[in-house]
Structure 1
Amino acid sequence: MNAMAQDQRAAVWAVVDSDIGPLLLVATGEGLVTVGFHATEAVRDKTLERLGARLGAEPVHAPDSPLLAEAIGQLREYFAGERHDFELALDWSLITGFNRRVLRELASGVPYGAVVGYGDLARRVGQPGAAQAVGLAMGANPLPVVVPCHRVVESDGGIGGFGGGLETKRQLLALEGVLPQPLF
């Protein structure tokens, strides 16, 4: 691997506070590569170890890195209700095939304040019988919130599953006006 390619794969990380708890953000020279929920020290360390194996080097703690600055700022704006669309460079290298197609469609085709059914999303990517596979793609999403898997719900109106936990999904949907804000 040449030096430029290695620099693109070098990764930095930071943990930022949010309305849904601490988020682990990891970025490479290509863009944001991971958003991790519930970033306690144990969760963070396990995620960074797995990422290091996939990226070829463990990410470096660099909360002031310019690679993370824009993502941190845009996430703060999102949770403050000031941002409805993320305009970030994303590193899609951890996602391939069907999952990548589904997640790219989700990111570009399901706006803030809207939801889509698993089956509808499957149809959008040309695989009408693949609702379950869409669910698996949501569970494999390394960029939740930014690639808004919380906006994918069951066709019967159920909230569906969520890797960050159902309460986190409810909070994100309430923030976007899809569900009522919790009473307490």
Structure 2
Amino acid sequence: MPASLPFRLVRAVAFAAVCAGLGMGAHVVAGATVALPGAVAAIALSLLAALPLTGRERSAGGILALLVVLQAVLHVMFSMLHGAAPVAVQGGHAHSGLVPGLGMLVMHGWAIVLTALWLSRGEAALWGLFRRVLVRLGLLPAVPVTRDPAPPVRHAEPPTPRSALLEHTLSGRGPPLFLPA
């Protein structure tokens, strides 16, 4: 069942806050500045990109793909708004046109992967909570009904465990095997 608009808006706003916050925070930590129009544009862009995808639960891969695209777009946007020269260091923030250096790519990559994992865990927790509430209210069956149940798997009896230490020892207990005549 598709999610309602208020629920979708809340999810999109949460994603936009995390995504734009990550991009702006990384940009500021690298020594640049983010003006208020740039921050508003970053949040709006992230919100508009996430809103169509909030109708159902998303996987970690889907969240990662969206973050990669948005972080690349935000980086280019912040670089253009920052007004850097073709090869310049302004306030410790190195630009070489719109292409980031290797260090910046590595840092963006780590931040994107960690943020995607964090958001996907939150996504799974949120949808798991909703499923539990719907089951509790009786609006969702507790056990999904399958049309063709798999036959039970039968396993042979496991062998009795034997000690490797005593495997080749002889026991002298008990009567002799034969009686002398």
TM-score by length of 1: 0.24
The structure with the greater share of residues assigned to strand is 1
| Structure with the greater alpha carbon radius of gyration | 2
The structure with the greater share of residues assigned to helix is 2
